[in-house]
């Protein structure tokens, strides 16, 4: 899959069939659009292209709100998109200046003059351009003017709920990671580097790996305990993950992500770990003493093991 970060006359496209959007999470609705686009491009020997943005538009338009928490990092998104068979992803640099382009200016100056699109495929609720003024109807009119076809795909639903990135983000923030996974088509993932923590877990018989995500824009589930699957150097290890401030053993209020890996006792500092967050077990709580905490962690491990033994 080709990744284009800057458009220039030297970069050529082959009658591209293009879709456009932030595509955060690359959920089941996104996947349906991309599969349709990829299949049509292959059949017609054209190029399948996704036009997306980096950074996320909200980060540029509303920097003071710090509201951008993304389901996927750019790297995670690109990995998902490549698996779907896209020929090219354009990671267009989103700026305030770019945001002022009208829908017509964007279509004419970028999609037509620089990329040369032959077709455009969009989702059921897609809007684009300055103030999201561009609608499907306007796209159709611009398609007639600039000689490209426009196709709108219907909404994709799970249990009568229309899928959207916003619904997935809300589910994750509420700790409902299993529901988020049903909309994503894959488990929600956290990925980072194993770093040293306070090492309190090992003193009570439950050593944990502390994870540094290295990305402040990545969404994190609400504080609590989760059944999880960890991937370390290609090896799958089940575990129980805690997100929170560890109120029983710490008082600094800092949120950490740590995972106790079952039947595992190796030094792994500095290694990359991918965690599939499978199921919320309980909310975080403060215990009166370490012994009560230890007893609860034992119960959490049993709950997580039982869940993961069924959801292999």
CA dihedral angle for residue 107, residue 111, residue 117, residue 120, rounded to 10 degrees: -60
Would the pLDDT of 189 be above 70? yes
Tell me: pLDDT of 75 over 60: yes
- pTM for this structure? 0.89
Residue 202: the pLDDT is 62
pLDDT at residue 200 in the model: 63
pLDDT band per the 50, 70, 90 thresholds, residue 270: very high
Mean pLDDT of all residues in 151-160: 78
Compute the average pLDDT of residues 29-36: 92
For residue 128, pLDDT beyond 70: no
**Phi-psi region at 217: left, alpha or beta (left = phi > 0; alpha = psi -120 to 50):** alpha
Does 96 score more than 60 pLDDT?
A: yes
At residue 243, the 3 state secondary structure works out as: strand
**For residue 112, with 0-12 CB atoms within 10 Å meaning exposed, 13-18 middle and 19 or more buried, which class applies?**
middle
Place of tokens 């923030």: 173
Among the listed residues 135, 132, 6, the one whose alpha carbon sits nearest the alpha carbon of residue 58:
132
Higher pLDDT, 203 or 16: 16
pLDDT band at 112 (very low <50, low <70, confident <90, very high): very high
For residues 131 and 127, give the distance between their C-alpha atoms in angstroms, rounded to a whole number.
9
Range ranked top by mean pLDDT from 170-179, 193-202, 211-220, 280-289: 170-179
Question: What pLDDT is attached to residue 129?
Answer: 60
Average pLDDT over residues 214-243: 94
pLDDT exceeds 90 at position 56: no
The string of pLDDT tens digits covering residues 245-263 is 876 666 666 889 999 999 9
Which residues, 6+ apart, have CB-to-CB distance to 137 below 8 Å?
none
User: What DSSP character marks residue 128?
Assistant: B
| pLDDT at res. 122 | 85
What mean pLDDT, rounded, does the chain reach? 89
Instruction: Give the pLDDT confidence score for residue 137 in this predicted structure.
Output: 84
Distance separating alpha carbons of residues 276 and 247, to the nearest angstrom: 24
152 has a pLDDT exceeding 80 = yes
Q: Which pLDDT band holds residue 290 (cuts at 50, 70, 90)?
A: confident
Confidence of residue 87 (pLDDT cuts 50, 70, 90): very high
User: Could you read off the pLDDT of 199-213 as tens digits, one per residue?
Assistant: 665 656 678 899 999
Residue predicted with more confidence, 71 or 56: 71
- Give the pLDDT of residue 133: 64
Percent of the chain with pLDDT over 90: 62
């Amino acid at each position: 899959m080709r990744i284009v970060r800057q458009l220039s006359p030297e970069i050529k496209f082959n009658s591209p069939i293009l879709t456009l959007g932030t595509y955060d999470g690359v959920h089941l609705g996104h996947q349906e659009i991309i599969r349709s686009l990829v299949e049509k491009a292959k059949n017609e020997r054209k190029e399948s292209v996704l036009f997306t943005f980096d950074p996320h538009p909200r980060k540029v338009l509303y920097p003071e709100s710090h509201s951008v928490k993304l389901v996927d990092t750019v790297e995670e998104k690109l990995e998902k998109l490549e698996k779907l068979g896209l020929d090219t992803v354009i990671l267009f640099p989103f700026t305030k200046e770019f945001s002022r382009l009208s829908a017509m200016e964007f279509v004419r100056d970028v999609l037509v003059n620089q990329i040369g699109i032959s077709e455009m495929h969009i989702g059921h609720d897609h809007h684009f351009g300055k103030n999201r003024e561009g609608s499907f109807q306007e796209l159709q009119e611009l398609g007639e003017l600039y000689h490209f076809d426009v196709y709108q795909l219907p909404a994709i639903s799970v249990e009568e709920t229309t899928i959207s990135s916003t619904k997935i983000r809300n589910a994750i923030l509420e700790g409902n990671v299993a529901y988020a996974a049903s909309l994503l088509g894959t488990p929600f993932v956290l990925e980072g580097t194993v770093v040293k923590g306070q090492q309190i877990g090992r003193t009570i018989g439950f050593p944990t790996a502390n994870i540094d995500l290295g990305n402040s824009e990545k969404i994190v589930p609400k504080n609590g305990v989760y059944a999880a699957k960890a991937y370390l150097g290609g090896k799958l290890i089940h575990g129980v993950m805690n997100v929170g401030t560890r109120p029983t053993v710490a008082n600094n209020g800092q949120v950490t992500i740590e995972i106790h890996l079952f039947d595992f006792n190796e030094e792994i500092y500095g290694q990359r770990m991918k965690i599939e967050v499978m199921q919320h077990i309980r909310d975080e709580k403060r215990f009166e003493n370490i012994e009560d905490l230890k007893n609860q962690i034992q119960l959490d491990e049993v709950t997580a093991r039982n869940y993961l033994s069924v959801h292999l």
